[in-house]
Amino acid sequence: MRIGVTYDLRADYLALGYGEEETAEFDAEETIIAICDALSGLGHQPVRIGGIRPLAERLVAGERWDAVFNICEGLKGVSREAQVPALLEAYDIPYVFSDPLTLALCLDKAMTKRVLRAAGVPTADFAVIETEADIAKVAMDFPLFLKPVSEGSGKGVDARSRVGKRAELESVARDLLARFRQPVLVEEFLSGREFTVGITGTGKAASVLGVIEIVPTEKYVGRAYGYQNKSDWEGKLDIVAVDDAEARAAAQVALAAWRVLRCRDGGRADIRLHADGKPRFIEVNPLAGIRPGYSDLCFIADFQKISYSELIGKFLQAFLARYPHLR
């Protein structure tokens, strides 16, 4: 197949003056090279496209592909991750990974939690602060945990995110509202072990790729896997493959969430244990990072002795199950 590859290259946005944290979700050149090499090794012809604007230009000019491998995060709007898939659907071009509805929903952590709570998937109690006037309405027991409602890569999560009293809640909430210009998610603080669960496949065919635990060291920043810990993790934490009873219980919560949200082909979900020892859903990433030697999903594959090419092959296998005529 001739497979287009859509992505947002971090270096391009840094060159335009965007900051390090602003561009944290975007991809490194080595990721795009690795994807294209894997696709070539699997017998396909990869074609680099880039983000939504070059995609739109090439579509209007009449260019087409048999399929698109989409990891484009988008830059503007609360549904930014849904923009490329929506455009591809308008042109009737099949693509790997989740559809616009799922991507738009999962980017909003509060809406995701509402859907999952209604479906019976365990998630931490929460509230949403839309404006400063909502801060006084938060009536939850401390400690609490605050983060932007629609960011990834740990953006907005730091040493101040766990708050233990009203004054801290007010200060952090105001800061996040001003910095990120979006609602703030307030959750009961989960004090137990933190897991990341890799998943491949779609619907009933989805399965757990593996589970890793995020184990903090003395240099860990704050109380969660936030931006500073993710972007420069070495020395701050250990990433450990786990398969004990608690990890398996976390994996089942992640898989249930994946299926309820109709995520497709591959990604990861974050789960943390409550003080009662039971797992709670934190968030799901249906467009998970796949930078070799850096991204959690790649670490999970490495622990399972799955090569990068094999990982990309698993995504394509799940995609082709939806489009058997492309085989």
CATH (domain of 49): 3.40.50.20
- Tell me: do 14 and 37 sit in the same domain: yes
CB-based contact 199:207 (threshold 8 Å) = yes
- Tell me: do 220 and 320 sit in the same domain: yes
The boundaries of the domain holding residue 148 are 125-188
Among the candidates 96, 112, 147, a domain finishes at: 96
- Tell me: do 6 and 91 sit in the same domain: yes
- Tell me: do 176 and 213 sit in the same domain: no
- Tell me: do 16 and 76 sit in the same domain: yes
Lowest mean pLDDT: which of 85-99, 168-182, 230-244? 230-244
- Tell me: do 35 and 49 sit in the same domain: yes
- Tell me: do 200 and 167 sit in the same domain: no
- Tell me: do 227 and 310 sit in the same domain: yes
Mean pLDDT over 264-285 rounds to 97
Q: How many domains does the chain have?
A: 3
The predicted pLDDT at position 16 comes to: 87
Residue 216: asked if its preceding bond is cis (omega within 30°), the reply is no
- Tell me: do 203 and 305 sit in the same domain: yes
Over the stretch 33-67, which tens digit does the pLDDT of each residue have? 999 999 999 999 999 999 999 999 999 999 999 99
Q: Is residue 105 part of a domain?
A: no
Over the stretch 239-267, which tens digit does the pLDDT of each residue have? 999 999 999 999 999 999 999 999 999 99
The predicted pLDDT at position 92 comes to: 97
Q: Is residue 108 part of a domain?
A: no
- Tell me: do 149 and 265 sit in the same domain: no
Q: Is residue 65 part of a domain?
A: yes
Q: Specify the long-range contacts of residues 143-147, CB closer than 8 Å, at least 24 apart.
A: 143/189, 144/169, 144/186, 144/187, 144/188, 144/189, 145/186, 145/187, 145/188, 145/189, 145/190, 145/223, 145/224, 146/172, 146/173, 146/176, 146/184, 146/185, 146/186, 146/187, 147/109, 147/176, 147/184, 147/185
CATH (domain of 308): 3.30.470.20
The predicted pLDDT at position 227 comes to: 58
Q: Is pLDDT above 80 for 173?
A: yes
Q: Is residue 146 part of a domain?
A: yes
Burial class of residue 260 in the structure, from the number of CB atoms within 10 Å of its CB (0-12 exposed, 13-18 middle, 19+ buried): middle
pTM for the structure as a whole: 0.94
Q: Is residue 312 part of a domain?
A: yes
- Tell me: do 221 and 309 sit in the same domain: yes
